[in-house]
Structure 1
Amino acid sequence: MKLHVAAAAVSVTAISTLLLTAGPASAHPYDGKDPYRSGCAASKVYTGKKASLKNEVGDSLGTIRLYYSRRCGTNWGEARVSKHATGQITVSTSSKSRSFTYRAGNGGHHWGNMVYAPSGVCAKATGSVTNGIGRANKGSGTTGKACG
């Protein structure tokens, strides 16, 4: 009886290890990477998709824009906010997304991680911003979709 329990434990461990190392089938080497460190931003083009990061009464606390790398086939979002603001940038397609949390600094220019979205795949960027305490100092926005 103990032999069967041990064998079952080994099987569960082996399966868990296999699942953790295999990763999602849709993963691409550029997914989750920094567009500037990877060199992908060298061929960036603005998709024409942007949104204001607005608080609950409609005041703009910044903007988010969606970019595409022709060389890498990737998308990412870039936010322009107060240099004191913090927040998050998420870029997503219909099948995956990647997020990046930014801290105050960098002159208020922040960018998220990339998602591989080659020709024909649509992507959008969502951003959030916090620039102080209270609801009036929190905003968010989502760009329209761009299809490569």
Structure 2
Amino acid sequence: MTTGPANAQPYDGKDPYRTGCANTKVNTGKKASLKNEVGDRLGTIRLFYSRRCGTNWGEVSVSKSGFGEITVYTSKKSRSFSYRPGNGGHHWGNMVYAPSGVCAKATGSVTTGAGRANKGSGTTPKACG
């Protein structure tokens, strides 16, 4: 779900590092393992917040060959980002505006090869600013 122009915020859907928002990032302490269907851990997703920008986004740590998607949600909107192999297995999603008092969570998925054992996902608990 995306918002219309009336509700759009300048940082929605933008890269937290390119905008400089990540310069004031805070690890919310909310994280989750990206697990396959039998519970094997294939990576981790963490939820971050920028004090200066009032935004949240997710970051994953996966194998260098992993690819997948990162989505951050509030109760009213979400933003997704698909990542490809590389970058040492460290990837981040796009931001969603979530100022003080707004709760957010992040989900991540990873695929590291063929077959269900090589596909994992996870969702962080909510953090409320």
Q: List structure 1 segments (4+ residues) > 3 angstroms apart after TM superposition.
A: none
Separation (CA, whole Å) in 2 of partners of 1:137 and 1:63: 14
1:44 aligns with 2:25: yes
Sequence identity of aligned pairs in percent? 83
Counterpart Cα distance in 2 of 1:97 and 1:24: 15
Aligned mates of 2:95, 2:6 — CA distance in 1: 17
Task: After TM superposition, list the pairs within 5 Å mapping 1:72-87 onto structure 2.
Answer: 72-87=53-68
- Aligned mate of 2:99, from 105, 113, 118: 118
**Alignment partners' CA distance in 1, 2:48 and 2:73:** 12
Q: Deviations over 1:56-90 (max 9, x none)?
A: 00000000000000000000000000000000000
Alignment of 1:7-18 (within 5 A): none
Matched, 1:54 2:31: no
Map of 1:27 onto structure 2: 8
TM-aligned CA deviation for residue 26 of structure 1: 1.9
Q: In the aligned structure 1, how far is the partner of 2:40 from the partner of 2:74? A: 28
Match for 1:69 among 12, 31, 50? 50
2:74 matched residue in structure 1: 93
User: Which residue does 1:19 correspond to in 2?
Assistant: none
Larger Rg: 1
* Structure 2: unaligned runs, 5 residues or longer: none
* Alpha-carbon displacement from aligned partner over 1:10-52 (angstroms, at most 9, x marks no partner): xxxxxxxxxxxxx343210100000000000000000000000
TM-score after normalising by structure 1: 0.84
State the superposition RMSD in angstroms: 1.1
How many residue pairs get aligned? The number is 127
Specify the SS of the correspondent of 2:23.
helix
The code of the aligned residue for 2:64 comes to K
The answer as to 2:83 corresponding to 1:109 is no
Is 1:138 matched up with 2:119? yes
Q: Which has the higher helix share?
A: 1
Hey, which of these two has a bigger chunk of strand by percent? 2
Aligned amino acid, residue 43 of structure 1: T
Higher relative contact order (CA 8 A, sep 6+): 2
